[in-house]
Amino acid sequence: MTPSRPARRPWTADEQRKLDDLLRAGKHAGEIATALQRTRLAIYARLQGLDIKRKKAARRLGRKAMTRNRSVLLGVAIGLFGALAVLTARYVAVVLPG
């Protein structure tokens, strides 16, 4: 015989808004659970799930930002090397005439 598990009720958009409002108001998990008619464990699980989603999103954005920054730095470096090559060519033409 398998142990029984409580039914998992999906979170609605309205419940998510209420959760956000209650968190901003500084309510603790017990008060939030009572207001949303859920258990404290359900509140903790939701907060943990949201935190994991936020961390994954931040990592993805961080990688994109790093890739973008590397591209900008590479462009700047190429530009500097190009300018250095032009200045070197001009210097050589002036100092060491052909």
40, 29 Cβ separation under 8 angstroms: yes
Q: Is 43 exposed, middle or buried (0-12, 13-18, 19+ CB in 10 A)?
A: buried
35, 27 Cβ separation under 8 angstroms: yes
* 24 vs 7: CA distance, rounded Å: 28
Which tokens go with 17?
Answer: 């808004």
Count of domains forming the chain: 1
pLDDT of residue 38: 95
Position 7 in a domain: no
Position 1 in a domain: no
pLDDT of residue 50: 85
User: Is it the case that residue 15 has pLDDT exceeding 90?
Assistant: yes
User: Is it the case that residue 81 has pLDDT exceeding 80?
Assistant: no
For 17-71, the pLDDT digits (tens) are 999 899 888 888 899 999 999 999 999 999 888 887 777 776 766 666 556 666 6
User: Is it the case that residue 6 has pLDDT exceeding 70?
Assistant: no
pTM: 0.52
Position 71 in a domain: yes
Name the CA dihedral angle for 14, 15, 18, 23, rounded to a multiple of 10 degrees: -140
